């Protein structure tokens, strides 16, 4: 097999997301052009060695090099946390500092994705002068949407400015580093805690307004496209239903009801399990009591994490 090029991809996870992280990577590799090698960077929020071994044994190491990055939580000591959002949700803001300087471009992916198309197609898009390429968020399409930036008027941002989802990003690292975008975003979170709804995603939308390029919505299919209300929105009516719903390039399980939860009713959850069954977690399925006790355990873990975060910020 001839490898002609390499794609750099970065993800971030703690141990709670070790399994879906592995599933995301496996789906990426399964649909990546044979001409490409994959260089993966994982910002490690505390993944146990046993789960790291399962990840390594689940992927095709002949096409994929995995590099573990240690985050610098002290840079995030003043950011806002909530009950279900851990500090790892902010790790993408650390990407420019954590990745080696020779990388001037990278694709960032959340860990609740299934990639169904060749990611090289995103890699080969021209970034030009954009800081990122991203898909408009179909649940929060505009900065002024009810769940958009609560303080957009104070920031002087037009109500027509589009709001992007940060789960899939092609990042221009060169421009991020030159203009200290990460520091600007962290500062925004620290100074606007009362307005924050979607954590670092809000910060990036505030800092990068008018500076990002659009990806086709199929590169970040959100769960709301399966509902009737989405197709009643005048802005999205021109999209072809079959393309966006039946032929997405990336499925984003963006709500709290992930496929690894017993109550998940997402129409594409079987696709998640198709790729899960190609990993060392093959055959695993969520149960009612498993989800029940997992929630209790996670509440305890998050409480401990918030306490540590509070102490670091003192």
Query: Residues 237-262: what's their mean pLDDT?
Result: 88
The predicted-structure confidence for 48-78, as pLDDT tens digits, reads as follows 999 999 999 999 889 999 999 999 877 887 7
What is the model's pLDDT at position 2?
43
Structure-block tokens of residue 182: 């990460």
pLDDT greater at residue 241 or residue 38: 38
Whether the pLDDT of residue 170 is over 80: the answer is yes
What is the model's pLDDT at position 260?
94
Q: What mean pLDDT, rounded, does the chain reach?
A: 90
What is the model's pLDDT at position 227?
83
The predicted-structure confidence for 137-152, as pLDDT tens digits, reads as follows 999 999 999 999 999 9
For residue 89, give its domain range: 5-313
Reduced to 3 states (helix: H, G, I; strand: E, B; else coil), residue 111 is coil
The predicted-structure confidence for 194-239, as pLDDT tens digits, reads as follows 998 888 999 999 999 999 999 999 999 999 998 877 777 777 766 7
223 within 8 A of 254, measured Cβ to Cβ? yes
Q: How far apart are CA 252 and CA 236, in angstroms?
A: 18
Listed residue (82, 88, 79) closest to 191, CA to CA: 79
What is the model's pLDDT at position 60?
84
Q: 99 falls in which pLDDT band (50, 70, 90)?
A: very high
Whether the pLDDT of residue 133 is over 90: the answer is yes
Number of domains in the chain: 1
Structure-block tokens of residue 251: 């499925």
What is the model's pLDDT at position 3?
47
Q: How far apart are CA 285 and CA 46, in angstroms?
A: 24
Q: 1 falls in which pLDDT band (50, 70, 90)?
A: very low
The percent of residues above 90 in pLDDT, for the chain, comes to 72
Query: What's phi and psi for 52, nearest 5 deg?
Result: -65, -40
Query: Which CATH number covers residue 30?
Result: 3.90.550.10
Whether the pLDDT of residue 301 is over 90: the answer is no
Q: How far apart are CA 281 and CA 68, in angstroms?
A: 21
């Amino acid at each position: 097999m001839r490898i002609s090029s390499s794609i750099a991809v970065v993800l971030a996870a703690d141990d709670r997301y070790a399994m879906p992280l592995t599933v995301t990577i496996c789906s990426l590799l399964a649909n990546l052009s044979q001409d490409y090698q994959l260089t993966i960077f994982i910002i490690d929020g505390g993944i146990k060695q046993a789960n790291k071994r399962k990840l390594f044994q689940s992927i095709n190491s002949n096409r994929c090099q995995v590099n573990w990055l240690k985050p610098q939580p002290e840079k995030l000591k003043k950011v806002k946390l909530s009950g279900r959002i851990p500090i790892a949700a902010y790790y993408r803001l650390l990407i420019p500092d954590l990745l080696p300087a020779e990388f001037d471009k990278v694709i960032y992916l959340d860990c609740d994705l299934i990639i169904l198309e060749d990611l090289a197609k995103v890699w080969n898009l021209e970034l030009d002068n954009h800081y990122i390429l991203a898909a408009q968020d179909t649940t929060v399409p505009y900065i002024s949407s009810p769940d958009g930036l609560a303080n957009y008027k104070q920031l002087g941002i037009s109500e027509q400015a589009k709001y992007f989802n940060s789960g899939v990003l092609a990042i221009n690292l060169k421009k991020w580093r030159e203009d200290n975008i990460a520091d600007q975003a962290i500062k925004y979170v620290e100074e606007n805690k009362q307005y924050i709804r979607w954590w670092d995603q809000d910060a990036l939308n505030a800092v990068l307004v008018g500076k990002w390029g659009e990806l086709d919505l199929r590169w970040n299919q959100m769960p709301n496209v399966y509902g009737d209300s989405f197709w009643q929105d005048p802005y999205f009516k021109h999209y072809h239903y079959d393309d966006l719903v039946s032929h997405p390039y990336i499925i984003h399980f963006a709500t709290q009801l992930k496929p690894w939860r017993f109550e998940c009713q997402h129409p594409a959850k079987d696709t998640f399990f198709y790729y899960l069954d190609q990993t060392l977690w093959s055959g695993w399925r969520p149960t009612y009591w498993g989800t029940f006790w997992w929630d209790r355990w996670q509440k305890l873990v998050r409480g401990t994490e918030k306490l540590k975060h509070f102490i670091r910020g003192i």
